[in-house]
């Protein structure tokens, strides 16, 4: 039996979390800090793990995913999800208005004007206020049950503010920023990019891994209630207000139009201002406001007579592909880029567009000297819509995949058969060097402060460093040759940081080396398993694949990486420089287990690097910046802006003396 006080605590936490979720994701009005929310949520998760029978269908823990779906079941819609007729011009809207007036036998009609969100339609069923089923549009008659995935979308309530049975419909979409982030990530990983946010949304909602859906931060707007008369609603505009009262996210830009002129003005306004939104819209939707009048108008076999999509004119342009050049990215991926004759599109002059990969070129048969139609995906990224075949005259030049790296002349290929990207396979290609160095000096790797991207660029251009191990060969004289802005004081600090970095540990080295698909977690797992770089170099494929989280492809990539002669040369040089290449066991349950700590000011007891080492050795996490999620700030003499920031965020603060008196870690 679960104690009553535990049940009470669980329900109170659940209600609080849903309240904070609603204010953050629906109202865009956070009530507590991220740190306080995370503490609350973690406390809730611990309760569910200890008492799994407490978990209810509306548990906020569903938001993080983690459930693998075997297949999507087909479900029949209660009422068919019809598509809308659409138009692109004012004359058609006026004709629509005339038809409505004639059928209703009245001169004036009120309309609900709403933005047409460019996402995927969804139908949500609630039983006694709890989300029971989420169904995609499908063919309009039946759709796929995607309930588990929809539960991860934080703007969709798992529990309504009323215990009612109701079915609502709306749109799930991907915000523009999220679309850009995901495509950048996919391009870096050699995966095919999404053509637009709508495709990204459709691909995400049909993922079989709910944790992947949760990571993509989909959003929603709900705009329709089935059988509104059951809730004493008389108009669409009343329904939108009721949906918001129930806890759904509704679009704030909806408008009640008293006549057709206001409908047209609404469309004109958003034709001009759609680019200012955080999400894609491809038009407006016009609905007869009265439900009684909607019933009179009825529907055809495919669409309602009481609504129409008033779409925006397509913003596209035609230009010529002057050339297709190859760029080598920081991960070695070779990206073909189209160079256009300059053309003005959506407020800017477009002269180039990424073609992503060579499969993309093949599918669209894009050639040099082709005339192409272009548009901006998500209103931001130029892309080729299609080639204008009829304009070809025989002077078009097909694009061939590169046989060698255009930067270093090294071997090119794919890391695994599932990749679409071709990349330079030389781990020491100069195109990768700057990025390799940026990763190596980053906080998550060797934490060499003072070496930012601009200085790294100058060092590489001056040929002072040609591989990461060359950093440990830098001296005062070499750095002084950089000239302006790099004085003796800066040089001394940088060299000290480089010296301190030698003690960061094996996992930091492994992450910093830039092994394909090896992030911080896998780097730590490798360091824990093999204890030293020598053991890892000689590890067999079977040993690598035995580590949880390392699949066939990653195991092969790690194996191949350490059998590259140039990689071994770097490791030998790191050894000679005194870089620590063995793992030091960290106490997983130390006195700082899970605690994030930052330090500011001048410390007297020890260098900051030593303090970091001691904190991490005792299970803590050392941070270089103050954020809302920080647990403790240690303050030395002449503390600066970090102290003020910590006070502002309400973060616990200790002097250096108080810290070492309380925690005996010397």
Q: What is the pLDDT of residues 85-138, one digit of tens each?
A: 888 889 999 999 999 999 999 989 999 999 999 899 999 999 999 999 999 998
Residue 133 pairs with which residues in a beta bridge?
Answer: 125
Determine whether the annotation assigns residue 113 to a binding site.
Answer: no
Per annotation, catalytic residue among 14, 116, 274, 432: 116
The domain spans of the chain are 4-55, 86-264+274-311, 314-411, 430-577, 596-662
Question: Strands 317-328, 255-257: parallel, antiparallel or unpaired by DSSP?
Answer: unpaired
Tally of CB atoms within 10 A around 91: 9
The reply to whether the predicted model has a pTM over 0.75 is no
Percentage of the chain modeled with pLDDT above 70:
96
| Mean pLDDT, residues 408-437 taken together | 81
Residue with tokens 């057709």: 260
Determine whether the annotation assigns residue 35 to a binding site.
Answer: yes
Determine whether the annotation assigns residue 180 to a binding site.
Answer: no
Determine whether the annotation assigns residue 598 to a binding site.
Answer: no
Which pLDDT belongs to residue 666?
A: 60
> 353: number of CA atoms within 13 Å, CB side?
28
Domain covering 314-411, topology: OB fold (Dihydrolipoamide Acetyltransferase, E2P) (2.40.50)
Determine whether the annotation assigns residue 240 to a binding site.
Answer: no
Give dist(CA 510, CA 516) in Å, integer. Answer: 11
Active site residue 151: no
CA dihedral 344, 350, 351, 356 (to 10 degrees): -150
- Tell me if 86-264+274-311 shares its fold with 430-577: no
CA 314, chain centre distance (Å)? 27
- Checking if the pLDDT of 189 tops 80, the result is no
611 contacts 636 by C-beta, under 8 angstroms: no
- Checking if the pLDDT of 501 tops 60, the result is yes
Determine whether the annotation assigns residue 114 to a binding site.
Answer: yes
Percentage of the chain modeled with pLDDT above 90:
41
Determine whether the annotation assigns residue 408 to a binding site.
Answer: yes
Domain covering 430-577, topology: DNA polymerase; domain 1 (1.10.150)
CA-nearest of 296, 331, 506 to 421 is: 331
Class for the domain spanning 4-55? mainly alpha
CATH code, 86-264+274-311 = 3.30.470.30
Domain covering 596-662, topology: Rossmann fold (3.40.50)
Determine whether the annotation assigns residue 467 to a binding site.
Answer: no
- Checking if the pLDDT of 587 tops 60, the result is no
């Amino acid at each position: 039996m679960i104690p009553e006080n535990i049940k009470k605590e669980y329900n109170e936490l659940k209600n609080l979390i849903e309240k904070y979720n609603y204010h953050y994701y629906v109202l865009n009005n956070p009530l507590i800090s991220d740190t306080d929310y995370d503490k609350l949520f973690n406390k809730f998760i611990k309760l569910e793990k200890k008492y799994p029978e407490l978990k209810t269908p509306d548990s906020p823990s569903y938001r993080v995913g983690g459930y693998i779906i075997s297949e999507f079941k087909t479900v029949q819609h209660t009422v068919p999800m019809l598509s809308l007729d659409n138009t692109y011009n004012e004359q058609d809207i006026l004709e629509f208005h005339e038809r409505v007036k004639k059928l209703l036998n009245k001169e004036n009609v009120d309309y609900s004007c709403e933005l047409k969100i460019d996402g995927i339609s969804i139908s949500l069923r609630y039983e006694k206020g709890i989300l029971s089923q989420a169904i995609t549009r499908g063919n309009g008659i039946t759709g796929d049950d995607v309930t588990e995935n929809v539960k991860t979308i934080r703007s969709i309530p798992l529990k309504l503010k009323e215990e009612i049975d109701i079915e609502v419909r709306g749109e799930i979409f991907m915000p523009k920023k999220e679309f850009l982030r995901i495509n950048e990530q996919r391009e870096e990983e050699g995966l095919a990019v999404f053509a637009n946010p709508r495709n990204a949304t459709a691909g995400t909602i049909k993922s079989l891994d709910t944790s992947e859906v949760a990571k993509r931060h989909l959003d929603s707007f709900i705009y329709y209630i089935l059988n509104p008369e059951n809730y004493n609603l008389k108009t669409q505009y009343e329904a939108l207000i009721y949906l918001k009262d129930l806890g759904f996210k509704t679009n704030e830009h909806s408008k009640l139009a008293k006549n057709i002129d206001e409908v047209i003005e609404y469309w004109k306004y958003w034709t001009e201002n759609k680019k200012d939104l955080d999400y894609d819209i491809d038009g407006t939707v016009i609905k007869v406001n009265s439900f009684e009048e909607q019933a009179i108008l009825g529907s055809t076999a495919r669409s309602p007579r009481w609504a129409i999509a008033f779409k925006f004119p397509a913003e596209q342009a035609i230009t010529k592909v002057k050339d297709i050049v190859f760029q080598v990215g920081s991960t070695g991926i070779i990206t073909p880029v189209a160079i256009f004759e300059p053309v003005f599109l959506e407020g800017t002059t477009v002269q180039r567009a990424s073609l992503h990969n060579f499969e993309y070129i093949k599918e669209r048969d894009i050639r040099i000297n082709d005339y192409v139609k272009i548009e901006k995906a998500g209103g931001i990224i130029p892309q080729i819509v299609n080639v204008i075949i009829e304009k070809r005259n025989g002077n078009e030049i097909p694009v061939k995949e590169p046989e060698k790296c255009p930067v270093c002349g090294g071997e090119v290929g794919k890391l695994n058969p599932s990749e679409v990207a071709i990349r330079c396979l030389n781990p020491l290609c100069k195109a990768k060097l700057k990025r390799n160095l940026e990763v190596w000096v980053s906080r998550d790797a060797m934490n060499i402060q003072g070496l930012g991207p601009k200085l790294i660029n100058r060092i590489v251009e001056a040929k002072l460093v040609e591989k990461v191990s060359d950093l440990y060969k830098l001296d005062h004289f070499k750095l002084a040759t950089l000239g302006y802005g790099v004085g003796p004081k800066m040089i001394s600090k940088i060299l000290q940081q480089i010296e301190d970095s030698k003690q960061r540990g094996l996992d930091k080295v492994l992450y910093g080396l830039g092994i394909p698909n090896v992030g911080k977690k896998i780097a730590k797992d490798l360091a824990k398993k093999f204890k030293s770089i020598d053991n890892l170099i000689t590890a067999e494929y079977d040993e690598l694949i035995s580590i949880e989280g390392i699949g066939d492809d990653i195991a092969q990539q790690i194996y191949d990486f350490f059998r590259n002669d140039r990689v071994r040369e770097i490791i030998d040089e790191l050894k000679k420089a005194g870089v620590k290449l063995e793992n030091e066991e960290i106490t997983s349950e130390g006195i700082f287990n899970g605690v994030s700590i930052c330090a500011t000011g001048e410390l007297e007891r020890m260098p900051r690097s030593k303090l970091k080492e001691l904190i991490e050795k005792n299970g803590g996490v050392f941070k270089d910046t103050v954020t809302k999620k920080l647990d403790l700030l240690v303050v030395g003499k002449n503390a600066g802006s970090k102290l003020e920031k910590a006070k502002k965020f309400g973060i616990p603060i200790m002097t250096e003396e108080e810290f070492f008196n309380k925690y005996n870690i010397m």
